Structure 1
Amino acid sequence: MVTIAVDGPSGSGKSSVSKAVAGRLGLAYLDTGAMYRAATLWCVRTDVALDDADAVARAVREMPLEMGVDPAAPGVVLDGDDVAAAIRTTEVSSAVSQVATNLEVRAEMKRRQRAVIDAENTDGFSGGRGIVAEGRDITTVVAPDADARVLLTASEEARLRRRSLEVHGAADAAAVDATRDQVLRRDRDDSTVSQFLTAADGVVTVDSSELDLDQTVAAVLSVVDRLGQWQA
Protein backbone atom coordinates (compact mmCIF):
# COMPACT_ATOMS: atom_id res chain seq x y z
CA MET A 1 0.00 0.00 0.00
CA VAL A 2 1.24 3.47 -0.80
CA THR A 3 0.03 7.06 -0.80
CA ILE A 4 1.58 9.55 -3.19
CA ALA A 5 0.59 13.18 -2.57
CA VAL A 6 0.98 15.77 -5.34
CA ASP A 7 0.28 19.48 -4.92
CA GLY A 8 0.78 22.41 -7.25
CA PRO A 9 -0.61 25.63 -8.72
CA SER A 10 -2.98 25.90 -11.67
CA GLY A 11 -1.44 24.77 -14.94
CA SER A 12 1.44 22.91 -13.34
CA GLY A 13 0.22 19.68 -14.91
CA LYS A 14 -0.57 17.93 -11.63
CA SER A 15 -3.78 16.26 -12.83
CA SER A 16 -2.32 14.80 -16.03
CA VAL A 17 0.87 13.77 -14.28
CA SER A 18 -0.90 12.26 -11.27
CA LYS A 19 -3.23 10.22 -13.46
CA ALA A 20 -0.29 8.94 -15.48
CA VAL A 21 1.71 8.05 -12.36
CA ALA A 22 -1.29 6.22 -10.88
CA GLY A 23 -1.76 4.33 -14.13
CA ARG A 24 1.89 3.31 -14.34
CA LEU A 25 1.91 2.02 -10.76
CA GLY A 26 -1.55 0.46 -10.77
CA LEU A 27 -2.84 2.83 -8.09
CA ALA A 28 -6.13 4.63 -7.54
CA TYR A 29 -6.31 8.35 -8.33
CA LEU A 30 -8.10 11.17 -6.50
CA ASP A 31 -8.60 14.63 -7.99
CA THR A 32 -9.39 16.75 -4.95
CA GLY A 33 -9.72 19.91 -7.05
CA ALA A 34 -12.67 18.28 -8.81
CA MET A 35 -14.31 17.86 -5.42
CA TYR A 36 -14.19 21.62 -4.80
CA ARG A 37 -15.53 22.23 -8.29
CA ALA A 38 -18.37 19.79 -7.64
CA ALA A 39 -19.13 21.58 -4.37
CA THR A 40 -19.32 24.88 -6.23
CA LEU A 41 -21.64 23.39 -8.84
CA TRP A 42 -23.80 21.90 -6.07
CA CYS A 43 -24.21 25.29 -4.43
CA VAL A 44 -25.10 26.90 -7.76
CA ARG A 45 -27.64 24.19 -8.56
CA THR A 46 -29.24 24.36 -5.12
CA ASP A 47 -29.39 28.17 -5.12
CA VAL A 48 -26.98 28.65 -2.23
CA ALA A 49 -25.44 32.10 -2.17
CA LEU A 50 -21.68 31.67 -2.41
CA ASP A 51 -21.10 34.69 -0.16
CA ASP A 52 -23.06 33.01 2.64
CA ALA A 53 -20.24 31.01 4.20
CA ASP A 54 -22.44 29.13 6.70
CA ALA A 55 -24.97 28.13 4.05
CA VAL A 56 -22.22 26.97 1.72
CA ALA A 57 -20.67 24.85 4.47
CA ARG A 58 -24.04 23.25 5.29
CA ALA A 59 -24.70 22.52 1.62
CA VAL A 60 -21.31 20.90 1.15
CA ARG A 61 -21.74 18.71 4.22
CA GLU A 62 -25.00 17.42 2.70
CA MET A 63 -23.64 17.14 -0.86
CA PRO A 64 -24.21 13.67 -2.42
CA LEU A 65 -20.87 13.27 -4.18
CA GLU A 66 -19.18 10.14 -5.52
CA MET A 67 -15.62 10.34 -6.79
CA GLY A 68 -14.33 7.77 -9.24
CA VAL A 69 -10.75 6.68 -8.57
CA ASP A 70 -9.85 4.92 -11.82
CA PRO A 71 -7.02 7.01 -13.32
CA ALA A 72 -8.20 6.05 -16.82
CA ALA A 73 -11.72 7.33 -16.16
CA PRO A 74 -11.97 9.34 -12.92
CA GLY A 75 -15.68 10.10 -12.85
CA VAL A 76 -17.43 12.75 -10.76
CA VAL A 77 -21.04 11.95 -9.88
CA LEU A 78 -23.12 14.58 -8.12
CA ASP A 79 -26.56 13.53 -6.91
CA GLY A 80 -26.53 10.73 -9.49
CA ASP A 81 -25.48 13.02 -12.34
CA ASP A 82 -22.16 12.72 -14.17
CA VAL A 83 -20.74 16.24 -13.85
CA ALA A 84 -17.19 15.65 -15.09
CA ALA A 85 -17.75 18.16 -17.90
CA ALA A 86 -20.05 20.55 -16.02
CA ILE A 87 -17.49 21.27 -13.31
CA ARG A 88 -14.99 22.54 -15.91
CA THR A 89 -17.15 25.38 -17.21
CA THR A 90 -16.08 29.01 -16.92
CA GLU A 91 -18.96 29.63 -14.48
CA VAL A 92 -17.56 27.08 -12.04
CA SER A 93 -13.93 28.03 -12.62
CA SER A 94 -14.61 31.66 -11.83
CA ALA A 95 -16.44 30.84 -8.57
CA VAL A 96 -14.62 27.83 -7.16
CA SER A 97 -12.14 29.79 -5.04
CA GLN A 98 -15.02 31.35 -3.10
CA VAL A 99 -16.01 27.86 -1.99
CA ALA A 100 -12.48 26.47 -1.70
CA THR A 101 -11.38 29.22 0.70
CA ASN A 102 -14.26 28.48 3.10
CA LEU A 103 -12.52 26.87 6.08
CA GLU A 104 -15.53 24.78 7.09
CA VAL A 105 -15.76 23.47 3.55
CA ARG A 106 -12.07 22.60 3.62
CA ALA A 107 -12.55 20.67 6.87
CA GLU A 108 -15.38 18.65 5.32
CA MET A 109 -13.36 18.02 2.18
CA LYS A 110 -10.38 16.88 4.21
CA ARG A 111 -12.63 14.35 5.96
CA ARG A 112 -13.95 13.01 2.66
CA GLN A 113 -10.56 12.97 0.97
CA ARG A 114 -8.93 11.22 3.90
CA ALA A 115 -11.69 8.60 3.86
CA VAL A 116 -10.98 7.80 0.20
CA ILE A 117 -7.22 7.64 0.79
CA ASP A 118 -7.62 5.37 3.81
CA ALA A 119 -10.08 3.12 1.97
CA GLU A 120 -7.74 2.67 -0.97
CA ASN A 121 -4.98 1.66 1.43
CA THR A 122 -7.13 -0.98 3.17
CA ASP A 123 -6.88 -4.65 2.18
CA GLY A 124 -10.06 -5.96 0.65
CA PHE A 125 -11.58 -2.62 -0.31
CA SER A 126 -12.19 -2.68 -4.07
CA GLY A 127 -8.85 -4.40 -4.41
CA GLY A 128 -7.30 -1.31 -2.84
CA ARG A 129 -3.59 -1.06 -3.49
CA GLY A 130 -2.76 2.55 -2.80
CA ILE A 131 -3.50 5.94 -4.30
CA VAL A 132 -2.16 9.08 -5.91
CA ALA A 133 -4.00 12.11 -4.52
CA GLU A 134 -3.49 15.56 -6.00
CA GLY A 135 -4.61 19.07 -5.16
CA ARG A 136 -3.52 22.11 -3.19
CA ASP A 137 -3.00 20.87 0.37
CA ILE A 138 -2.52 17.11 0.08
CA THR A 139 1.16 17.17 1.06
CA THR A 140 0.57 19.46 4.04
CA VAL A 141 -2.95 18.91 5.40
CA VAL A 142 -4.82 15.95 3.92
CA ALA A 143 -1.96 13.45 3.75
CA PRO A 144 1.13 14.90 5.43
CA ASP A 145 2.06 11.30 6.27
CA ALA A 146 2.07 10.24 2.60
CA ASP A 147 4.87 7.91 1.52
CA ALA A 148 5.97 10.34 -1.19
CA ARG A 149 5.11 14.05 -1.30
CA VAL A 150 5.71 16.15 -4.40
CA LEU A 151 5.16 19.82 -5.20
CA LEU A 152 4.78 20.07 -8.96
CA THR A 153 5.46 23.58 -10.17
CA ALA A 154 6.21 25.48 -13.37
CA SER A 155 6.91 29.02 -14.46
CA GLU A 156 3.99 31.42 -14.77
CA GLU A 157 4.50 31.55 -18.54
CA ALA A 158 4.39 27.76 -18.86
CA ARG A 159 1.33 27.43 -16.65
CA LEU A 160 -0.61 30.09 -18.54
CA ARG A 161 0.29 28.51 -21.87
CA ARG A 162 -0.83 25.05 -20.75
CA ARG A 163 -4.12 26.21 -19.28
CA SER A 164 -4.79 28.34 -22.37
CA LEU A 165 -4.32 25.30 -24.60
CA GLU A 166 -6.58 23.26 -22.34
CA VAL A 167 -9.39 25.81 -22.16
CA HIS A 168 -9.15 27.64 -25.49
CA GLY A 169 -7.24 25.21 -27.69
CA ALA A 170 -4.68 27.91 -28.43
CA ALA A 171 -1.75 29.63 -26.75
CA ASP A 172 -1.55 32.91 -28.64
CA ALA A 173 -1.45 36.22 -26.76
CA ALA A 174 -5.22 36.69 -26.77
CA ALA A 175 -5.91 33.19 -25.47
CA VAL A 176 -3.28 33.49 -22.75
CA ASP A 177 -4.69 36.85 -21.62
CA ALA A 178 -8.18 35.35 -21.46
CA THR A 179 -6.84 32.66 -19.15
CA ARG A 180 -4.66 34.86 -16.97
CA ASP A 181 -7.26 35.90 -14.39
CA GLN A 182 -8.60 32.39 -13.97
CA VAL A 183 -5.15 30.95 -13.29
CA LEU A 184 -3.38 33.68 -11.34
CA ARG A 185 -6.36 34.93 -9.32
CA ARG A 186 -7.29 31.39 -8.28
CA ASP A 187 -3.73 30.73 -7.15
CA ARG A 188 -3.66 34.00 -5.23
CA ASP A 189 -7.01 33.35 -3.55
CA ASP A 190 -6.35 29.70 -2.74
CA SER A 191 -2.89 30.45 -1.37
CA THR A 192 -4.56 32.27 1.53
CA VAL A 193 -5.74 28.94 2.95
CA SER A 194 -3.24 26.37 1.64
CA GLN A 195 0.45 26.15 0.90
CA PHE A 196 1.13 25.06 -2.66
CA LEU A 197 3.50 27.67 -4.05
CA THR A 198 6.54 26.57 -2.03
CA ALA A 199 7.39 23.12 -0.76
CA ALA A 200 6.91 22.32 2.91
CA ASP A 201 9.59 20.41 4.80
CA GLY A 202 10.00 16.93 3.38
CA VAL A 203 8.18 17.74 0.13
CA VAL A 204 10.19 17.31 -3.09
CA THR A 205 9.81 20.01 -5.75
CA VAL A 206 9.58 18.99 -9.41
CA ASP A 207 9.75 21.93 -11.83
CA SER A 208 8.04 20.99 -15.11
CA SER A 209 8.60 24.32 -16.90
CA GLU A 210 10.91 22.78 -19.51
CA LEU A 211 9.54 19.23 -19.38
CA ASP A 212 6.87 17.52 -21.44
CA LEU A 213 4.31 15.17 -19.90
CA ASP A 214 6.38 12.00 -20.20
CA GLN A 215 9.46 13.70 -18.76
CA THR A 216 7.47 15.09 -15.83
CA VAL A 217 5.90 11.70 -15.11
CA ALA A 218 9.38 10.17 -15.16
CA ALA A 219 10.62 12.84 -12.73
CA VAL A 220 7.81 12.12 -10.26
CA LEU A 221 8.33 8.36 -10.56
CA SER A 222 12.01 8.98 -9.85
CA VAL A 223 11.07 10.75 -6.63
CA VAL A 224 8.90 7.80 -5.59
CA ASP A 225 11.66 5.31 -6.44
CA ARG A 226 14.30 7.38 -4.68
CA LEU A 227 12.26 7.44 -1.49
CA GLY A 228 12.00 3.65 -1.71
CA GLN A 229 8.28 3.65 -1.04
CA TRP A 230 6.99 1.70 -4.06
CA GLN A 231 7.01 -2.06 -4.02
CA ALA A 232 5.78 -3.63 -7.29
Structure 2
Amino acid sequence: MTSTSNGVRVAIDGPSGSGKSSVSKKVAAHLGIGYLDTGAMYRALTWYCLDAGIDLDDTEAVADAVAAMPLEMGTDPKAPSVSMGGKPIDADIRTTRIAEVVSKVATNLAVRPKLQQRQRDLMREIAASSGGVVAEGRDVTTVVAPDADVRILMVASEEARLARRSKEVHGGVDETMLAATRAQIVDRDKADSTVSSFMTAADGVVTLDTSELTFQQSVEAVLTLVERATA
Protein backbone atom coordinates (compact mmCIF):
# COMPACT_ATOMS: atom_id res chain seq x y z
CA MET A 1 0.00 0.00 0.00
CA THR A 2 1.30 3.45 -0.87
CA SER A 3 0.45 6.65 0.96
CA THR A 4 1.07 10.36 0.90
CA SER A 5 4.47 11.71 2.00
CA ASN A 6 3.01 12.38 5.44
CA GLY A 7 1.30 8.99 5.71
CA VAL A 8 -2.19 7.84 4.83
CA ARG A 9 -4.95 9.79 6.55
CA VAL A 10 -8.35 8.21 7.10
CA ALA A 11 -11.26 10.32 8.38
CA ILE A 12 -14.40 8.64 9.73
CA ASP A 13 -17.51 10.48 10.90
CA GLY A 14 -20.81 9.19 12.19
CA PRO A 15 -23.47 9.28 14.90
CA SER A 16 -23.16 7.58 18.28
CA GLY A 17 -23.35 3.81 18.09
CA SER A 18 -22.51 3.55 14.40
CA GLY A 19 -19.37 1.62 15.28
CA LYS A 20 -16.89 4.28 14.22
CA SER A 21 -14.73 4.15 17.35
CA SER A 22 -14.24 0.39 17.60
CA VAL A 23 -13.85 0.01 13.84
CA SER A 24 -11.41 2.93 13.60
CA LYS A 25 -9.17 1.45 16.30
CA LYS A 26 -9.15 -1.96 14.65
CA VAL A 27 -8.41 -0.48 11.22
CA ALA A 28 -5.57 1.64 12.58
CA ALA A 29 -4.09 -1.35 14.42
CA HIS A 30 -4.32 -3.48 11.28
CA LEU A 31 -2.56 -0.82 9.22
CA GLY A 32 0.01 -0.14 11.93
CA ILE A 33 -0.78 3.56 12.13
CA GLY A 34 -2.01 6.01 14.77
CA TYR A 35 -5.55 6.65 16.00
CA LEU A 36 -7.29 9.83 17.12
CA ASP A 37 -10.66 10.03 18.87
CA THR A 38 -11.70 13.64 18.29
CA GLY A 39 -14.90 13.19 20.28
CA ALA A 40 -12.85 12.34 23.35
CA MET A 41 -11.28 15.78 23.08
CA TYR A 42 -14.67 17.44 23.59
CA ARG A 43 -15.31 15.14 26.55
CA ALA A 44 -11.88 15.95 27.97
CA LEU A 45 -12.52 19.69 27.68
CA THR A 46 -15.85 19.19 29.46
CA TRP A 47 -14.08 17.31 32.26
CA TYR A 48 -11.41 20.01 32.52
CA CYS A 49 -13.98 22.79 32.79
CA LEU A 50 -15.98 20.97 35.46
CA ASP A 51 -12.80 20.15 37.37
CA ALA A 52 -11.67 23.78 37.17
CA GLY A 53 -15.07 25.17 38.13
CA ILE A 54 -15.64 26.82 34.77
CA ASP A 55 -19.32 27.41 33.98
CA LEU A 56 -20.15 25.47 30.81
CA ASP A 57 -22.64 28.19 29.89
CA ASP A 58 -19.82 30.76 29.83
CA THR A 59 -18.94 30.25 26.17
CA GLU A 60 -15.84 32.48 26.17
CA ALA A 61 -14.38 30.94 29.32
CA VAL A 62 -14.87 27.44 27.92
CA ALA A 63 -13.26 28.48 24.62
CA ASP A 64 -10.27 29.94 26.50
CA ALA A 65 -9.89 26.60 28.29
CA VAL A 66 -8.99 24.89 25.00
CA ALA A 67 -5.52 26.47 25.05
CA ALA A 68 -5.16 26.23 28.82
CA MET A 69 -5.93 22.56 29.33
CA PRO A 70 -2.84 20.27 29.43
CA LEU A 71 -4.48 17.59 27.27
CA GLU A 72 -2.49 14.56 26.20
CA MET A 73 -3.92 12.09 23.66
CA GLY A 74 -2.41 8.60 23.55
CA THR A 75 -2.71 7.52 19.91
CA ASP A 76 -1.80 3.82 19.99
CA PRO A 77 -4.96 2.17 18.58
CA LYS A 78 -4.41 -0.89 20.76
CA ALA A 79 -4.29 1.24 23.91
CA PRO A 80 -5.57 4.77 23.24
CA SER A 81 -5.57 7.06 26.23
CA VAL A 82 -6.63 10.50 27.40
CA SER A 83 -4.73 12.33 30.14
CA MET A 84 -4.88 15.80 31.62
CA GLY A 85 -1.56 17.03 32.96
CA GLY A 86 -0.41 13.44 33.37
CA LYS A 87 -3.62 12.33 35.10
CA PRO A 88 -5.47 9.55 33.22
CA ILE A 89 -9.09 10.55 32.70
CA ASP A 90 -10.20 7.81 30.28
CA ALA A 91 -12.84 6.42 32.64
CA ASP A 92 -13.91 9.84 33.92
CA ILE A 93 -14.84 11.22 30.49
CA ARG A 94 -17.10 8.24 29.77
CA THR A 95 -19.29 8.72 32.82
CA THR A 96 -22.92 9.80 32.70
CA ARG A 97 -21.87 13.04 34.42
CA ILE A 98 -19.88 14.03 31.32
CA ALA A 99 -22.28 12.50 28.79
CA GLU A 100 -25.15 14.59 30.10
CA VAL A 101 -23.40 17.94 29.56
CA VAL A 102 -20.79 17.41 26.83
CA SER A 103 -23.16 18.82 24.20
CA LYS A 104 -22.88 22.22 25.88
CA VAL A 105 -19.20 22.15 24.97
CA ALA A 106 -19.58 20.42 21.61
CA THR A 107 -22.13 22.98 20.41
CA ASN A 108 -20.11 25.95 21.61
CA LEU A 109 -19.26 27.77 18.38
CA ALA A 110 -16.30 29.49 20.01
CA VAL A 111 -14.84 26.12 21.03
CA ARG A 112 -15.21 24.14 17.82
CA PRO A 113 -12.71 25.97 15.58
CA LYS A 114 -10.07 25.92 18.33
CA LEU A 115 -10.44 22.20 19.00
CA GLN A 116 -10.64 21.49 15.28
CA GLN A 117 -7.28 23.18 14.77
CA ARG A 118 -5.77 21.08 17.55
CA GLN A 119 -7.20 18.03 15.82
CA ARG A 120 -5.65 19.03 12.48
CA ASP A 121 -2.29 19.52 14.16
CA LEU A 122 -2.55 16.18 15.93
CA MET A 123 -3.51 14.35 12.75
CA ARG A 124 -0.47 15.83 11.03
CA GLU A 125 1.84 14.89 13.90
CA ILE A 126 0.47 11.37 14.24
CA ALA A 127 0.64 10.68 10.50
CA ALA A 128 4.21 11.94 10.32
CA SER A 129 5.37 9.86 13.30
CA SER A 130 3.49 6.61 12.70
CA GLY A 131 3.05 6.52 8.93
CA GLY A 132 -0.63 7.43 8.99
CA VAL A 133 -3.67 8.11 11.11
CA VAL A 134 -7.30 7.10 11.46
CA ALA A 135 -9.25 9.98 13.00
CA GLU A 136 -12.90 9.64 13.92
CA GLY A 137 -15.60 11.90 15.26
CA ARG A 138 -18.31 14.23 14.04
CA ASP A 139 -16.93 16.58 11.37
CA VAL A 140 -13.53 15.12 10.59
CA THR A 141 -14.40 14.40 6.95
CA THR A 142 -15.71 17.88 6.25
CA VAL A 143 -14.01 20.45 8.51
CA VAL A 144 -10.97 18.92 10.21
CA ALA A 145 -9.58 16.89 7.31
CA PRO A 146 -11.55 17.48 4.09
CA ASP A 147 -8.38 16.54 2.18
CA ALA A 148 -7.92 13.15 3.88
CA ASP A 149 -6.99 10.23 1.61
CA VAL A 150 -10.10 8.32 2.70
CA ARG A 151 -13.28 9.93 4.01
CA ILE A 152 -16.12 7.77 5.35
CA LEU A 153 -19.47 8.53 6.95
CA MET A 154 -20.37 5.49 9.06
CA VAL A 155 -24.08 5.23 9.78
CA ALA A 156 -26.51 2.67 11.21
CA SER A 157 -30.18 2.48 12.01
CA GLU A 158 -31.32 3.97 15.30
CA GLU A 159 -32.32 0.50 16.49
CA ALA A 160 -28.87 -0.91 15.80
CA ARG A 161 -27.11 2.07 17.38
CA LEU A 162 -29.19 1.93 20.55
CA ALA A 163 -28.64 -1.81 20.94
CA ARG A 164 -24.88 -1.55 20.47
CA ARG A 165 -24.39 1.33 22.89
CA SER A 166 -26.78 -0.17 25.46
CA LYS A 167 -24.74 -3.38 25.52
CA GLU A 168 -21.53 -1.38 25.77
CA VAL A 169 -22.62 1.01 28.52
CA HIS A 170 -25.28 -0.92 30.43
CA GLY A 171 -24.44 -4.53 29.60
CA GLY A 172 -27.79 -5.42 28.05
CA VAL A 173 -30.72 -4.33 25.93
CA ASP A 174 -33.79 -4.53 28.17
CA GLU A 175 -36.35 -1.72 28.09
CA THR A 176 -34.82 0.25 30.96
CA MET A 177 -31.31 0.03 29.51
CA LEU A 178 -32.48 1.09 26.07
CA ALA A 179 -34.38 4.05 27.55
CA ALA A 180 -31.27 5.23 29.41
CA THR A 181 -29.19 4.82 26.27
CA ARG A 182 -31.70 6.70 24.14
CA ALA A 183 -31.41 9.75 26.38
CA GLN A 184 -27.65 9.77 25.98
CA ILE A 185 -27.44 8.96 22.26
CA VAL A 186 -30.50 10.31 20.49
CA ASP A 187 -30.68 13.50 22.53
CA ARG A 188 -26.96 14.18 22.09
CA ASP A 189 -27.10 13.52 18.35
CA LYS A 190 -30.00 15.93 18.09
CA ALA A 191 -28.08 18.63 19.93
CA ASP A 192 -24.84 18.07 18.04
CA SER A 193 -26.62 18.09 14.69
CA THR A 194 -27.28 21.80 15.18
CA VAL A 195 -23.59 22.53 14.58
CA SER A 196 -22.33 19.46 12.72
CA SER A 197 -23.72 17.37 9.86
CA PHE A 198 -23.01 13.69 10.47
CA MET A 199 -26.03 11.86 9.03
CA THR A 200 -25.58 12.81 5.36
CA ALA A 201 -22.30 12.41 3.49
CA ALA A 202 -20.70 15.47 1.93
CA ASP A 203 -19.40 15.35 -1.64
CA GLY A 204 -16.57 12.85 -1.94
CA VAL A 205 -17.40 11.11 1.34
CA VAL A 206 -18.34 7.42 1.15
CA THR A 207 -21.35 6.31 3.22
CA LEU A 208 -20.93 2.97 5.00
CA ASP A 209 -24.09 1.59 6.62
CA THR A 210 -23.14 -0.90 9.34
CA SER A 211 -26.69 -1.74 10.47
CA GLU A 212 -26.55 -5.29 9.10
CA LEU A 213 -22.78 -5.76 9.23
CA THR A 214 -20.82 -7.61 11.88
CA PHE A 215 -17.90 -5.84 13.48
CA GLN A 216 -15.40 -7.71 11.32
CA GLN A 217 -17.36 -6.99 8.16
CA SER A 218 -17.35 -3.29 9.03
CA VAL A 219 -13.58 -3.37 9.54
CA GLU A 220 -13.05 -5.18 6.24
CA ALA A 221 -15.26 -2.67 4.42
CA VAL A 222 -13.14 0.24 5.66
CA LEU A 223 -9.89 -1.56 4.85
CA THR A 224 -11.14 -2.17 1.32
CA LEU A 225 -11.84 1.54 0.89
CA VAL A 226 -8.37 2.39 2.20
CA GLU A 227 -6.71 -0.08 -0.17
CA ARG A 228 -8.61 1.30 -3.14
CA ALA A 229 -7.71 4.88 -2.31
CA THR A 230 -4.03 4.29 -1.62
CA ALA A 231 -3.06 1.46 -3.98
Query: For 1:71, what is the secondary structure of its paired residue?
Result: coil
Return the alpha-carbon distance in structure 2 between the equivalents of residues 121 and 57 of structure 1: 27
Return the alpha-carbon distance in structure 2 between the equivalents of residues 179 and 121 of structure 1: 34
Query: For 2:90, what is the secondary structure of its paired residue?
Result: coil
TM-score, normalised with respect to structure 1? 0.95
Return the alpha-carbon distance in structure 2 between the equivalents of residues 114 and 91 of structure 1: 28
TM-score, normalised with respect to structure 2? 0.95
Matched, 1:14 2:16: no
Contact 2:75–2:126 (Cα < 8 Å) also in 1 = no
Match of 2:131 in 1: 129
Q: Which runs of 4+ in 1 moved over 6 A?
A: none
Matched, 1:140 2:142: yes
Deviation at 1:60, TM superposition (A): 2.1
Return the alpha-carbon distance in structure 2 between the equivalents of residues 100 and 186 of structure 1: 10
Contact 2:36–2:136 (Cα < 8 Å) also in 1 = yes
Match of 2:3 in 1: none
Query: For 1:70, what is the secondary structure of its paired residue?
Result: coil
Match of 1:199 in 2: 201
Query: For 2:25, what is the secondary structure of its paired residue?
Result: helix
Return the alpha-carbon distance in structure 2 between the equivalents of residues 19 and 121 of structure 1: 15
Matched, 1:169 2:171: yes
C-alpha distance after superposition, 1:13-52 (max 9, x if no partner): 1000000000111110000011100000000000011111
Unaligned runs of 5+ in 2: 1-6
Corresponding letter in the other structure for 1:3 = R
C-alpha distance after superposition, 1:124-147 (max 9, x if no partner): x3xx20100000000000000000
Query: Which of 39, 58, 61 is the equivalent residue of 1:55?
Result: 61
Match of 1:24 in 2: 30
Query: For 1:121, what is the secondary structure of its paired residue?
Result: helix
Name which of structure 1's ranges 110-119 and 152-161 shifts more when overlaid on structure 2.
Answer: 110-119
Corresponding letter in the other structure for 1:217 = V
Name which of structure 1's ranges 104-113 and 151-160 shifts more when overlaid on structure 2.
Answer: 104-113
Corresponding letter in the other structure for 1:175 = M
Contact 2:100–2:184 (Cα < 8 Å) also in 1 = yes
Deviation at 1:222, TM superposition (A): 1.4
Return the alpha-carbon distance in structure 2 between the equivalents of residues 90 and 14 of structure 1: 20
Query: Which of 198, 216, 219 is the equivalent residue of 2:218?
Result: 216
Return the alpha-carbon distance in structure 2 between the equivalents of residues 75 and 186 of structure 1: 23
Matched, 1:110 2:112: no
Query: For 2:110, what is the secondary structure of its paired residue?
Result: helix
Return the alpha-carbon distance in structure 2 between the equivalents of residues 55 and 66 of structure 1: 20
Deviation at 1:120, TM superposition (A): 2.2
How many residues are paired up?
A: 225
Match of 2:125 in 1: 119
Match of 1:157 in 2: 159
Match of 2:71 in 1: 65
Return the alpha-carbon distance in structure 2 between the equivalents of residues 193 and 225 of structure 1: 32
Corresponding letter in the other structure for 1:75 = S
Deviation at 1:58, TM superposition (A): 1.1
Root-mean-square deviation over aligned CA pairs: 0.9
Matched, 1:43 2:53: no
Deviation at 1:111, TM superposition (A): 1.2
